[in-house]
């Protein structure tokens, strides 16, 4: 078997990432050697592979659904926004420069089609099946000429296309029909059919509409997935703590101790890898919320300043909103603050930045004895170490180089009193370390909070991925889906006018 499939969507957030991960886990459970692929991803949530390549977090989680190690070929192009009009371009895991949206779509993107097709071919030569995820909608006719992630990759590799629609938003039949009708004949020939996502109620009431859709388009519906809370995997762009809703959607486990622990995460601009706090949210008795006002920090037992693609901009934002003064007061009162990556950098004495913001020397909050200099080369590593007597694993993605001039060692950063700073993303996913850290926070906050002794973040993730696999196995026509992956789009699919404009 050397099969493939492109999971496209009628809109952004239609459920492409979830469906891709679910199909991957379903195939892996059938003994199929499967890999995920997304030609081009735009996200500030990224991950570092074992060979030191940066890819989107969603593709790393999809690789976990496949039970394989993620590689750069699974996400050859990653765009990391630095503002509304420009992004850092990461090619095969390495940054190659900043580019405006106009410059990227004006020519650079089209030149990358060969690169992404080569990566897909590499995966297809290695795996039995490759499940590809599109981006946005394939019917974005203004971008079709330079498209490398939807119909561009489908046509280039001869992939059948499954279009996912979110019926909970409404208008799903019009979205399905319109998506096909706005594609060129050559693209329409690859669109095999549809998958309805987030349906509530009696499926029999939907069936007449699906039959009419088949009559109008000549394309079948491969499944109707029911609405389920918290099925998202690691987010690309949203502000959702995914595991909280996913593994505890019906009954939230009560605190083990007498108190809950309240965590406030500063919602800084260009926030990156906010998935770091998923591990906190998965703990019984820990309440995580994102905040943007000083008064929202008042009852927090722990304040987290997360990573950001704009450290200097985030620092200015904290000062403008009064959050910086509140954090400084917290530190003076020995109340816990944790800075991660960019959040760690802005807690230091000063920042020398001629790379990211080009602002030169900027004073930090002065809460940790750290000086930061931005290097043009990005640090991309998977460190392993020890903190609070526990083994810790993490990953680093940053241009800032920190010179630590005091305090107690803490991973690659330092700790002064109850102020902690590190570049390590993902450290809180190490169960023993997370429990030890939360015990320290609870003691400093005067809370009778006790971490649950048996919470396994890795097990919760596996449970989440299995739920996605169950969704496909129980609610999609898996026999038809298998034939589609193995044999491609059915022959003779009708053309739906008007097609793409000239």
Q: E strands within 200-319?
A: 220-226, 261-266, 271-272, 286-291, 302-305, 307-308
> Active site includes 425?
yes
> Active site includes 229?
no
Do residues 400 and 372 make contact, with C-beta atoms less than 8 angstroms apart? yes
Do residues 316 and 363 make contact, with C-beta atoms less than 8 angstroms apart? no
3-state secondary structure of 255: coil
CA atoms within 13 A on the CB side of 69: 8
From the list 399, 423, 425, 475, the catalytic residue is 425
From the list 341, 398, 423, 475, the catalytic residue is 341
Cis peptide before 293 (omega within 30 of 0): no
Token digits of residue 395: 């990953």
C-alpha radius of gyration, the chain, whole number:
23
Cβ burial of 501 (10 Å; 0-12, 13-18, 19+) is: exposed
DSSP states along 330-374: HHHTT--EEEETHHHHHTSSEEEESSSS--EEEE----SSEEEEE
Closest CA to 387 of 370, 363, 412, 368: 412
Active site residues: 341, 425
């Amino acid at each position: 078997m050397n099969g493939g499939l492109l999971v496209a969507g009628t809109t952004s957030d239609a459920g492409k990432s979830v469906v891709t991960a679910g199909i991957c886990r379903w195939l892996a459970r059938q003994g199929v050697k499967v890999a995920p692929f997304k030609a081009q991803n735009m996200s500030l949530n990224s991950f570092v592979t074992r060979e030191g390549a940066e890819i989107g977090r969603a593709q790393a989680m999809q690789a976990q659904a496949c039970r394989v190690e993620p590689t750069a070929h699974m996400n050859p192009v990653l765009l990391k926004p630095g503002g509304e009009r420009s992004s850092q371009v990461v090619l095969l895991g390495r940054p190659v420069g900043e580019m405006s949206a106009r410059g990227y779509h004006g020519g650079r993107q089209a030149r990358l089609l060969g690169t992404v097709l080569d990566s897909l071919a590499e995966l297809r030569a290695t795996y039995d099946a490759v499940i590809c995820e599109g981006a946005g909608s394939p019917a974005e006719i203004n971008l079709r000429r330079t498209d490398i992630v939807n119909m561009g990759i489908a046509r280039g590799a001869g992939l059948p296309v499954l279009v996912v629609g979110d019926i909970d938003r409404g208008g799903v039949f019009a979205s399905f029909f319109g998506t096909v009708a706005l594609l060129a004949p050559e693209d329409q020939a690859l669109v095999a059919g549809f998958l309805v996502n987030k349906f509530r109620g009696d499926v029999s009431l939907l069936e007449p509409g699906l039959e009419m859709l088949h009559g109008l388009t000549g394309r079948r519906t491969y499944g109707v997935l029911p609405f389920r809370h918290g099925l998202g995997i690691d987010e690309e762009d949203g502000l959702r703590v995914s595991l909280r809703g996913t593994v505890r959607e019906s009954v939230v486990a009560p605190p083990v101790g007498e108190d809950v622990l309240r965590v406030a995460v500063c919602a800084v601009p260009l926030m990156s890898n906010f998935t770091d706090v998923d591990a906190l949210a998965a703990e019984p008795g820990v309440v995580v919320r994102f905040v943007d006002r000083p008064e929202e920090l008042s009852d927090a037992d722990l304040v987290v300043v997360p990573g950001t693609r704009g450290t200097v901009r985030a620092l200015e934002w904290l000062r403008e909103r009064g959050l910086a003064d509140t954090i400084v007061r917290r530190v003076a009162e020995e109340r816990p603050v944790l800075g991660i990556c960019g959040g760690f950098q802005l807690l230091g004495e000063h920042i020398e930045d001629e790379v990211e913001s080009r602002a030169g020397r900027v004073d930090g909050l002065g809460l940790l004895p750290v000086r930061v200099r931005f290097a043009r080369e990005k640090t991309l590593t998977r460190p392993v170490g020890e903190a609070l007597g526990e083994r810790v694993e993490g990953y680093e993605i940053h241009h800032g180089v920190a010179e630590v001039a005091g305090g107690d060692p803490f991973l690659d950063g330092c700790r002064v009193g109850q102020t902690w700073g590190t570049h390590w993303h993902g450290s809180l996913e190490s169960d023993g370390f997370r429990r030890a850290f939360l015990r320290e926070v609870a003691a400093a906050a005067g809370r009778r909070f006790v971490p649950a002794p048996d919470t396994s973040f890795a097990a919760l993730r596996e449970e989440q991925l299995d739920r996605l696999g169950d969704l496909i196995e129980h609610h999609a026509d898996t026999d038809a889906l298998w034939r589609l992956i193995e044999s491609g789009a059915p022959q003779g699919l009708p053309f739906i006018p008007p097609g793409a404009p000239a």
